[in-house]
Amino acid sequence: MRAWFTHLPGRWLQAEERAQLRAILPTLFGYHLLQLGDVYSKDCLTSSRIPHCVVLDEWPQETPPAGECERSEVRGSLEWLPIATDAIDTVVMPHTLEFTDDPHQVLREIDRILIPEGHAVILGFNPWSLWIFWRMALSWRGRPPWCGRFTSQARLKDWLQLLGFDIIEARRYFYRPPLSHKGLMRRLRFLDRIGQRWTPFFGAGYVVVARKRVATLTPIRPRWRPVRRPVASPELAGNSRSLAQGQHTRKTESQ
For the chain, how long is the longest CA-to-CA vector? 130
Mean pLDDT of 109-115: 98
pLDDT value for 241: 54
Q: How does residue 227 score in pLDDT terms, banded at 50, 70 and 90?
A: low
pLDDT attached to residue 221: 63
Under 8 Å between Cβ of 212 and 111: yes
pTM confidence score: 0.81
Dist CA 32 CA 115 (whole Å) = 10
Torsion, Cα of 106, 76, 86, 208 (10° steps)? -40
Query: In a 10 Å sphere around its CB, with 0-12 CB exposed, 13-18 middle and 19+ buried, how is residue 4 labelled?
Result: buried
All residues at 6 or more sequence positions from 96 whose CB lies less than 8 Å from its CB, including other chains: 36, 37, 78, 106, 122
Q: Provide the pLDDT for residue 225.
A: 61
The percent of residues in the chain predicted with pLDDT above 90, rounded, is 60
Residue 88 φ then ψ, to 5°: -115, 140
pLDDT for residue 97: 96
What is residue 242's predicted lDDT score, i.e. its pLDDT?
A: 55
The pLDDT of residue 254? 53
Write the class of the CATH domain 4-212: alpha beta
Give the start-to-end residue ranges of the domains of the chain: 4-212
What pLDDT shows up at residue 234? 55
pLDDT confidence of residue 142: 75
List the Cα angle 96/20/125 in 5-degree steps. Answer: 40
Least confident of 143-147, 231-235, 249-253: 249-253
- pLDDT, residue 94, reads 96
pLDDT at 7: 86
Considering the chain, what percentage of its residues have pLDDT values greater than 70?
79
pLDDT at residue 192, as a whole number: 94
The most confident of 51-60, 86-95, 223-232, by mean pLDDT: 86-95
205-212: strand order across its sheet: 70-75, 52-57, 32-36, 88-94, 114-125, 205-212, 165-173
Render pLDDT for 23-76 as a digit per residue (tens, 0 to 9).
999 999 999 999 999 888 678 888 999 999 999 998 776 655 555 556 788 899
- pLDDT tens track for 176-207: 999 989 999 999 999 999 999 998 999 999 99
Tell me, what's the pLDDT at 25? 96
Residues 124-159: tens digit of each pLDDT: 999 999 898 888 887 777 788 888 899 999 999 999
Report the 3 state secondary structure along the chain.
CCCHHHCCCHHHHHHHHHHHHHHHHHHCCCCEEEEECCCCCCCCCCCCCCCEEEEEECCCCCCCCCCCCEEEEEECCCCCCCCCCCCEEEEEEECCHHHCCCHHHHHHHHHHHEEEEEEEEEEEECCCCCCHHHHHHHHHHCCCCCCCCCCCHHHHHHHHHHCCEEEEEEEEECCCCCCCCHHHHHHCCHHHHHHHHHCHHHCCEEEEEEEECCCCCCCCCCCCCCCCCCCCCHHHHHHHHHHHHHHHHHHHHHC
User: What is the spatial distance between Cα 88 and Cα 112, in angstroms, rounded to a whole number?
Assistant: 9
pLDDT of residue 72: 83
